[in-house]
Amino acid sequence: MPNLLLIDDEIKLRGLLKRILELEGYHVSEADNAHSAFKILEKQDIQVVVCDVKLPDAHGVELTQRLKTQFPLVEVILLTAYGTIADGVQAVKNGAFDYLTKGDDNDRIVPLVARATEKAELRQKVHRLEEKVSQKFGFGSIIGTSKPILEAIELAQKVAVTDTTVLLLGETGTGKEVFAQAIHQQSPRRDKPFVALNCSAFSREILESELFGHRAGAFTGATKDKKGLMEEAHGGTLFLDEIGEMSPDLQAKLLRVLETNAFYKVGDTKPTQVSVRFVAATNRDLQKEAENQHFRLDLYYRLSVFEIKLPSLHQRPEDIPLLAAHFVQIYAAKMNRPAPKLSASFLERLKQSAWKGNIRELKNVIERAVILANHNELTPRELPFEMQFGTANFTQGVATLAEIEKQHIDWMLHHTQHNKTETARLLGIGLTTLYRKIEEYEL
């Protein structure tokens, strides 16, 4: 039921209007002055305010501006006994939905309130959707409390509100695209597109067409005009992942865009103007690459106006339990099953691992563990075999061959739900041998 607020010091008129609107299915609150109205607005979720122009403690036209400043999602309809064109114009400028004269426009009130309510509810839905997007892609989506990740987040938040080009440095799987999306979501360009392109995923010719677009007939197979990602990102942010893989001639064209905000589509003779904020990322040392003439030095300087180094997972081990618990919740929900707990031994194995693939590798390991889990707790047996003893044990030579064999047989039995025939087949041994091993290792 939509919530309305009537602000009028005339009790009879306010009461009449309240009865009319309640008959239309609205929940109506009342206030006889601006001060009382603001108290109600702070406590209740009001969609539409119907307000008299002349109040004991405020003028409705000026009050509209205050209302829209403090409660931007609320729609305001002004009522006056003596309407003037000047007041009506100013009321709309101040954000009023409409301006009505009492008596003359009585038949318009109900349909007008209906339209104002519809607009207010739509704005609230959009606002909730924007909040969800912000939670999913904003800085709140970056999990971790370690010093390295908090320092990276702080730098990213500072640069996000500017239009400065950003270069994200870090190993593969450290979350560079997540940071790029968060920077976009906190920037003035958040309402415009965020476009991501992996420069290592295409050949030089296809990458040029994907990035800049082409005209029909520019090359064999180009049967119609194509808009490139540079143009798709107009007004927003273009994220160029693995920028170090870009060919030298395309680097020169990208440099031109950074300097002039213009580019030529493949096969075109006229430049296309764009307004794009660039965020680039690489796992290479671009400065060394540039010094060794494997990357354009002038482009490196343009891209590295603001560098952010993202820590590897190995540099933030205290964040591993938080990330693991987060991914467990995600994958358990996808599989429509209760989220299993993470045992102390399971977490210890995670902390001991090298994580060369960083967060991406951790996600894959957790997804696999949730799939294999047959109980309400994750244990080392749900981990890949090489992780079950922990990296430290292997590197220090602690695990004996017998211990490794025992652990592997135990895991395989668990995997087959103790189907010994299937376990023997997967292990490539005879059933009799498996029974002997089970007895030997007391499994």
**Residue 388 above 80 pLDDT?**
no
Q: Which residue has the higher pLDDT, 429 or 132?
A: 429
Q: HEC profile for the chain?
A: CCEEEEECCCHHHHHHHHHHHHHCCCEEEEECCHHHHHHHHHHCCCCEEEEECEECCEEHHHHHHHHHHHCCCCEEEEEECCCCHHHHHHHHHCCCCEEEECCCCHHHHHHHHHHHHHHHHHHHHHHHHHHHHHHHHCHHHCCCCCHHHHHHHHHHHHHHCCCCCEEEECCCCCCHHHHHHHHHHCCCCCCCCEEEEECCCCCHHHHHHHHHEECCCCCCCCCCCEECHHHHCCCCEEEEECHHHCCHHHHHHHHHHHHHCEECCECCCCCEECCCEEEEEECCCHHHHHHCCCCCHHHHHHHCCEEEECCCHHHCHHHHHHHHHHHHHHHHHHCCCCCCEECHHHHHHHHHCCCCCHHHHHHHHHHHHHHHCCCCEECHHHCCHHHCCCHHHHHCCCCCHHHHHHHHHHHHHHHCCCCHHHHHHHHCCCHHHHHHHHHHCCC
Q: Which residue has the higher pLDDT, 375 or 263?
A: 263
- Condensed to tens digits (0 to 9), the pLDDT of residues 301-348 reads 999 999 999 999 999 999 999 999 999 999 999 999 899 999 998 998
Question: For residue 390, what pLDDT is reported?
Answer: 53
Question: For residue 399, what pLDDT is reported?
Answer: 58
Closest by Cα among 309, 248, 299 to 278: 299
Question: For residue 137, what pLDDT is reported?
Answer: 66
- Condensed to tens digits (0 to 9), the pLDDT of residues 255-264 reads 999 999 999 9
Mean pLDDT, all residues of the chain: 87
Q: Tell me the pLDDT band of 83, cut-offs 50, 70 and 90.
A: low
Question: For residue 135, what pLDDT is reported?
Answer: 57
- Condensed to tens digits (0 to 9), the pLDDT of residues 193-216 reads 999 999 998 888 889 989 999 888
Q: Tell me the pLDDT band of 394, cut-offs 50, 70 and 90.
A: very low
Rounded mean pLDDT of 281-287?
93
Distance from CA of residue 421 to its chain's centroid?
A: 47
Share above pLDDT 70 across residues of the chain, in percent, rounded to a whole number: 94
Give the CA angle between residues 81, 86, 90 to the nearest 5°. Answer: 100
- Condensed to tens digits (0 to 9), the pLDDT of residues 234-273 reads 999 999 999 999 999 999 999 999 999 999 988 888 999 9
Residue 378 β-bridge partners: 342
- Condensed to tens digits (0 to 9), the pLDDT of residues 22-80 reads 888 899 999 999 999 999 999 999 999 999 888 898 888 888 988 998 999 999 998 88
- Condensed to tens digits (0 to 9), the pLDDT of residues 135-152 reads 566 888 899 999 999 999
- The model's pTM is 0.65
Q: Tell me the pLDDT band of 395, cut-offs 50, 70 and 90.
A: very low
**Residue 398 above 90 pLDDT?**
no
Using CA atoms, how far apart are residues 175 and 360, in angstroms rounded to an integer?
8
Q: Tell me the pLDDT band of 130, cut-offs 50, 70 and 90.
A: low
**Residue 104 above 50 pLDDT?**
yes
Using CA atoms, how far apart are residues 419 and 46, in angstroms rounded to an integer?
62
Question: For residue 124, what pLDDT is reported?
Answer: 83
Question: For residue 401, what pLDDT is reported?
Answer: 75
Using CA atoms, how far apart are residues 236 and 190, in angstroms rounded to an integer?
7
- Condensed to tens digits (0 to 9), the pLDDT of residues 148-165 reads 999 999 999 999 999 999
